[in-house]
């Protein structure tokens, strides 16, 4: 383990450069490096002695960045910036319609069983990857996927009836 940590530490300057190349932002690059190192340390037992550590860690970083960009895309398509959360639905000509629809979504979400609501909120609202959400809840990824699928179906049914 000690040798692994030393080799991982020696990779930090290269990882930081790679992260900066992926993110094009210093703060995002720092966050990505930290997430990558954390994941590499947690997954240490998956690395095979005698294989290239740098390639393994770069793959972790790349996958982590793909997950993050997908989550950002989902959040940007679905929700306004968190600072504007208090103003959702306040557009002058759509104010009443937006408030009614937002209320419908909130009520439909509240009617879901807790396990489905938890999966829907973590993945669709908070933007966590399935794997991360499964880890947060403490269930296998397949279980999370099933709960999310049932939750989506129930929401669509509820919202279809509300329209």
Tell me what pLDDT residue 22 has: 83
Question: What fold characterizes domain 86-162?
Answer: Arc Repressor Mutant, subunit A (1.10.10)
Contact 133, 140 (CB under 8 A): no
Domains 2-78 and 86-162 share a fold: no
Per-residue pLDDT of the chain (163 residues; tens, 9 = 90+): 688 999 999 999 988 988 888 888 899 999 999 999 999 999 999 988 888 898 899 889 988 998 999 988 887 776 555 565 555 555 555 665 555 555 667 777 778 888 888 888 788 877 888 988 888 888 999 999 999 999 989 888 888 865 5
Question: What's the pTM?
Answer: 0.49
Listed by start position, the domains of the chain span: 2-78, 86-162
Question: What fold characterizes domain 2-78?
Answer: Rna Polymerase Sigma Factor; Chain: A (1.10.1740)
Contact 147, 121 (CB under 8 A): no
Both tokens of 40, joined, read 């590499």
Q: Which residue has the tokens 């990882």?
A: 15
């Amino acid at each position: 383990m000690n040798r692994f940590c030393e080799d991982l530490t020696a990779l930090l300057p290269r990882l930081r450069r790679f992260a900066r190349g992926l993110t094009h932002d210093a703060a995002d690059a720092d966050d990505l490096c930290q997430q990558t190192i954390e994941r590499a340390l947690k997954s240490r037992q998956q690395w095979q002695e005698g294989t290239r550590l740098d390639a393994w860690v770069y793959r972790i970083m790349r996958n982590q960045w793909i997950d993050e960009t997908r989550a950002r895309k989902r959040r940007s398509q679905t929700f306004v910036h968190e600072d504007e959360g208090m103003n959702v639905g306040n557009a002058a000509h759509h104010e009443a319609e937006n408030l009614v629809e937002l209320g419908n979504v909130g009520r439909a979400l509240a009617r879901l069983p807790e396990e489905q609501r938890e999966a829907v909120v973590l993945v669709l609202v908070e933007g966590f990857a399935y794997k991360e959400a499964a880890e947060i809840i403490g269930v296998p990824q397949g279980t999370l996927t099933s709960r999310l699928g049932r939750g989506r179906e129930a929401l669509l049914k509820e919202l279809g009836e509300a329209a």
